[in-house]
Amino acid sequence: MPRRRLSQRQIERVQRIQERRRRRLEERTQLALDRLDEERLDDDMLGAPRPGRVVVRYGANLAVEDEHGQLYHCLCRQHVGQPVCGDRVVWQPTGEGNGVVTALQPRETLLSRPGYSGRDRPLAANISLLVAVVAPRPEPSSYLIDQYLVAARLIGVPVLVLCNKMDLCETARDRRRFLSNLTHYRAIGYPLIAVSAKQTGTLDALIDQLTAETAILLGQSGVGKSSLIKALLPDREVQIGRLSKATGLGRHTTSAATCYRLSGGGSLIDSPGVRSFRLGPISRRDLERGFREIEPFIARCRFANCRHEQEPDCAVRKAVAAGEIDPRRLANFQHLAAQLEGND
């Protein structure tokens, strides 16, 4: 008997139920660990404080990497906060291969996305580069790319636009046509690189960009993020094995945001949570800041509340007419602005 297909609403309802169950389990586990923490892990039982970085978090369990690259299975002290992948922490050994996180270091950046409740859900911390991945197929969504750019600008992270699957362009003309639709991003300061995960020799320019960075890949389904990760991390299975051994969680760690070391230097965060990334509720001012080439012209408009549509003396529309702003960027700005007004 064929399985009944669920509607999108039913799928979302099932996901919300599963998320609530995971959260309740995590809360119960954390409560028990906190009690154990207070009862058994007195300061005089802990080793000296050490710096570390959270490589993966699964429920109340953390894999923390020390300054030598050694992994430890850690729990988290009560009232420390909620560490996420990429967080820098202070931890103290409690035994061979084990420890407890006793402090959370200040974050330089934090990438979040709205959860089912509408509240922001932290995904990864201390990211230094966001890679927006596009491909000839599926056709790039400039609306989605522009949301990535807004999110990155608001948290102060640079963006690289990565054109993957270039092997799908059968002719040089196809390649030029595809890239020409994205060159306006390069014109406003976002680097543009063309690669193919199937042709590893084309990845050299990308690897150079990732050196010494902590990067995360964003992109719509089908653009080849998984293939890129496999190509960039030939030892990924080995790293997963080390994580599984350190945390005792087996393969479950692959379902959470995980920070992998790149062989050429730097780190790459693989996060299932960014597959459905979207902007959360932001202010109109934040949206304006997120469109870096539009923002300077807004203050020059005749009216402070100019919508950049039919108002007289609109500096933004004049800039579009002069070729200083791409009309697609303005259209996406207006669409996002209308959504903000609809949420008020």
In this predicted model, what pLDDT tens digit does every residue of 252-280 receive, in sequence order?
555 788 999 999 899 999 987 676 677 88
Quickly name the fold that domain 124-274 has.
Rossmann fold (3.40.50)
- Most confident segment among 10-24, 88-102, 106-120: 88-102
pLDDT of 344 above 80: no
pLDDT of 121 above 50: yes
Domain parsing of the chain, residue ranges = 10-104, 124-274, 284-343
What pTM was computed for the model? 0.84
pLDDT of 37 above 80: no
Confidence band for 103, pLDDT divided at 50, 70 and 90 = very high
User: What type of residue is 261?
Assistant: R
- Closest by CA position to 233, among listed 253, 212, 263: 263
- Closest by CA position to 229, among listed 220, 238, 216, 213: 216
Residue 204 · residue 231 · CB < 8 Å: no
Classify burial at 244, counting beta carbons within 10 Å of its beta carbon; exposed 0-12, middle 13-18, buried 19 or more: middle
Q: Is the dihedral of CA 149, 151, 156, 161 positive or negative?
A: negative
Compute how many other C-beta atoms are within 10 angstroms of the C-beta atom of residue 335.
11
Q: Percent of the chain at pLDDT above 90?
A: 65
pLDDT of 78 above 60: yes
CA distance 202 to 124: 28
Looking at residue 237, the DSSP 8-state letter turns out to be H
Q: Which two tokens stand for residue 331?
A: 């259209």
Give the mean pLDDT of 97-126: 89
Which class is 284-343 in CATH? mainly alpha
Residue 233 · residue 239 · CB < 8 Å: yes
Over residues 177-203, the pLDDT tens digits come to 999 999 999 999 999 999 999 998 899
Q: Is the dihedral of CA 155, 22, 225, 144 positive or negative?
A: negative
pLDDT at position 195 is 97
- Closest by CA position to 94, among listed 49, 34, 27, 35: 49
Confidence band for 1, pLDDT divided at 50, 70 and 90 = very low
User: What type of residue is 30?
Assistant: Q
For residue 102, the Cα-to-chain-centroid distance in whole angstroms is 26
pLDDT of 36 above 50: no
Asked whether the bond before 2 is cis by omega within 30 degrees of 0, the reply is no
CA distance 216 to 257: 10
pLDDT at position 39 is 42
The CATH superfamily assigned to 10-104 is Nucleic acid-binding proteins (2.40.50.140)
